[in-house]
Chain A
Amino acid sequence: MNGVLSFSLVAEALARLGRMTLFLLQLLVQCARALARPNLVVAQIYNAGGRSLVIIMLSGLFTGMVLALLGFNLLQRFGSQEALGFAAALALIKELGPVLTALLFAGRAGTALTSEIGLMNATDQLTAMKMMAVDPLRYVAAPRFLGGVIAMPLLTAIFDAVGLFGAHTIGVRMMGVDNGSFWSQMQASVGLNDVMEGVTKSLVFGFVCSLIAVYEGYHAEPTAEGVGLATTRTVVASSVLILLLDYMLIAAFL
């Protein structure tokens, strides 16, 4: 009985993966066409990115402040508190920036994307487009997908910058770390590879989160419950995949 259940779960997961792959291929074809209408993409960068700015900046600030407090406490034990800038920058740029931004993005912009597309489906707006001979994949899904993919690295950069500001405020102004050491250690030790790792992660996370959000919205059952379930699936699937991919990307960059 358990064996049959496991088999059906695996079969369903594989079928879902297959459907998503097909959807992705169709979406990529439409992305090329959507780029010819940049105003739609720009509007979605604002929707996914601009509207997430406040939550991203606040989270970045507090993350940087926490990093500085914990980092200073730890480094002080070894007499190397001057390395606080380097430690905070590495932690933010390589790991916390991309991962936390992606998790916040999935919770705010991802759910908004899924519920918006799901409700458009439930109110026959997608069918109306098809009836007007307009492919909703091109007009609705592709610009939202591209908007998310482009917004994520930008949000990550802002998260990192605000996080460093928070770390600097706590480390230098409150804990008394030397200002020159804070910046010079960071400049000397953080390399282009570290930045590229962060950028790569944010691009991958942006791709995955946007794909899941758009896919779930597009295939949500056209009922209130269906849209709610799809929104939940977006957050759960995005969060798990972000952490899984984070591990794989760290291993790849080591």
Chain B
Amino acid sequence: MDEIQRPLEAGEAGGDGPVVEVRDVHYSVHGRVIFKGLTLSAAKGKITAVMGPSGTGKTTLLRLMTAQIEADAGVINVFGRDVAQMGSQDVFAMRRRMGMLFQNSALLSDLDVFENVAFPLREHTDLTEPLIRNLVLSKLNAVGLRGAAELMPTELSGGMSRRVALARAVVMDPEVLIYDEPFVGLDPIALGMILRLIQQLNQALGITSIVVSHDVAELASIAHHSYLMADGRIVAAGTPAELARSDSPIVSQFMSGKPDGPVPFHYPAPDIVTQLLAGEGA
């Protein structure tokens, strides 16, 4: 890893040290290696972007960070504690300090928008009904959907669902917000709104944000620190500007969106001429 290709150190970029720290993590599924020595960290109060081509394990990384699955080797520290050493109660306590925005929003289909946002409050607090109402409406107002409080999830567009999910993710005032592909399938207006909301939540509330995505331009506009994942590890790290200046072939291919390069366009296959001729003889 060269000078810009290093994980963030404690105190760097004005933060108070990493809230999430992944060290030398290895992970395989059914014999397929997903990570082989992955190392990265997310500084407190900053927006950290994790980028990479599709299928590199970005969502798997989030599942490891949130203790949904367990790494084969390596250490994942969240809020200073190793998630592998946590019991189920500790994991739930950790998750109460986190919020997560899912790629497909994951709104509860049998509850309306208001109840979806109120869900964590009803489950974890003894707040009175008027207080819950005020909190939910203020969060919905922040994402511009106060007027949609009575709609069911099936009545929402993709962008609206994402914003409701964001309101639900922040209703408990989490210390860390994790975004899984927040820009996928959004029109430019909805995308701009989500970008602005991520930035506002970070600036106004100081929420540590980890954004996993392959949308380079969008991430570059908001991230304080970026990682590029490929081949089961971090291949580049630094500020978006540093990554953009990198002359590494893989970084250059990803940042400029070239179809072929170190990350091949073709899935591994036999030579096409050989394969076609073999078909003719059959």
Contact B119 A132 (CB under 8 A): yes
Of the residues B100, B124, B172, contact of A128 by C-beta under 8 Å:
B100
Most chain B CB within a 10 A radius of its CB, from A120, A123, A133: A133
Contact A123 B104 (CB under 8 A): yes
Q: Chain B's nearest CB lies how many Å from the CB of A40?
A: 11
B95 closest partner in A (C-beta): A133
Contacts of A12 in B (CB 8 A): none
Known: A128-B100, A132-B120. A120 touches B68 (CB 8 A): no
Bound-complex Cα distance A127 to B103 (A): 12
Q: Chain B's nearest CB lies how many Å from the CB of A130?
A: 7
Bound-complex Cα distance A120 to B106 (A): 9
Bound-complex Cα distance A133 to B96 (A): 6
Q: Chain B's nearest CB lies how many Å from the CB of A25?
A: 15
Q: What range describes how many residues of A lie at the interface?
A: 10 to 19
B120 closest partner in A (C-beta): A132
Contact B123 A128 (CB under 8 A): no
Convert A117-133 into 0s and 1s, putting 1 for each residue whose CB lies closer than 8 angstroms to a CB of B. 00110011101111111
A138 closest partner in B (C-beta): B123
Contacts of B104 in A (CB 8 A): 123-124
In the complex, whether A14 has a CB less than 8 A from a CB of chain B is: no
Contact A124 B106 (CB under 8 A): yes
Contact B66 A131 (CB under 8 A): yes
Contact B93 A133 (CB under 8 A): yes
In the complex, whether A196 has a CB less than 8 A from a CB of chain B is: no
B100 closest partner in A (C-beta): A131
Contact A128 B93 (CB under 8 A): no
Convert A127-150 into 0s and 1s, putting 1 for each residue whose CB lies closer than 8 angstroms to a CB of B. 111111111000100000000000
Contacts of A134 in B (CB 8 A): 119-120, 123
Contact A127 B106 (CB under 8 A): yes
Convert A228-248 into 0s and 1s, putting 1 for each residue whose CB lies closer than 8 angstroms to a CB of B. 000000000000000000000
Of the residues A123, A128, A133, contact of B92 by C-beta under 8 Å:
A133
Bound-complex Cα distance A130 to B104 (A): 16
Contacts of A128 in B (CB 8 A): 100, 102, 106-108
Task: Count residues of B near A (Cβ-Cβ below 8 Å).
Answer: 22
Known: A131-B66, A132-B120. A120 touches B93 (CB 8 A): no
Contact B95 A131 (CB under 8 A): yes
Contacts of A120 in B (CB 8 A): 108-109
Q: Chain A's nearest CB lies how many Å from the CB of B106?
A: 4
Dominant SS at the B interface? mixed
In the complex, whether B98 has a CB less than 8 A from a CB of chain A is: yes
Contacts of B66 in A (CB 8 A): 131
Convert A191-209 into 0s and 1s, putting 1 for each residue whose CB lies closer than 8 angstroms to a CB of B. 0000000000000000000
Known: A130-B68, A131-B100, A133-B124. A125 touches B108 (CB 8 A): yes
Convert B63-99 into 0s and 1s, putting 1 for each residue whose CB lies closer than 8 angstroms to a CB of A. 0001010000000000000000000000011011011
B67 closest partner in A (C-beta): A130
Bound-complex Cα distance A128 to B92 (A): 12
Convert A88-116 into 0s and 1s, putting 1 for each residue whose CB lies closer than 8 angstroms to a CB of B. 00000000000000000000000000000
B172 closest partner in A (C-beta): A132
Bound-complex Cα distance A125 to B107 (A): 6
Known: A130-B68, A132-B123, A133-B124. A125 touches B95 (CB 8 A): no
Most chain B CB within a 10 A radius of its CB, from A119, A124, A135: A124
Interface residues in A161-201 by Cβ distance below 8 A to B read none
Bound-complex Cα distance A131 to B102 (A): 10
Q: Chain A's nearest CB lies how many Å from the CB of B98?
A: 7
Interface residues in B139-196 by Cβ distance below 8 A to A read 168, 172
Contact B92 A125 (CB under 8 A): no
Contacts of B172 in A (CB 8 A): 132
Q: Chain B's nearest CB lies how many Å from the CB of A214?
A: 16
Q: Chain A's nearest CB lies how many Å from the CB of B51?
A: 22
Known: A132-B120, A132-B123. A123 touches B106 (CB 8 A): yes
Sample (25) of A-B pairs whose CB atoms are under 8 Å apart? A119-B109, A120-B108, A123-B104, A123-B109, A124-B103, A124-B104, A124-B106, A125-B108, A125-B109, A127-B68, A127-B102, A127-B106, A128-B106, A128-B107, A130-B68, A131-B66, A131-B95, A131-B98, A132-B168, A132-B172, A133-B95, A133-B120, A134-B120, A134-B123, A139-B123
**Which of A's residues lie within 8 Å of B, judged by CB?**
119-120, 123-125, 127-135, 139
Extra pairs beyond A124-B106, A125-B106 (9, CB < 8 Å): A124-B104, A128-B108, A131-B100, A132-B123, A132-B172, A133-B93, A133-B120, A133-B123, A139-B123
The 6 closest A-B CB pairs, nearest first, are A128-B106, A124-B106, A133-B92, A133-B95, A131-B100, A133-B96
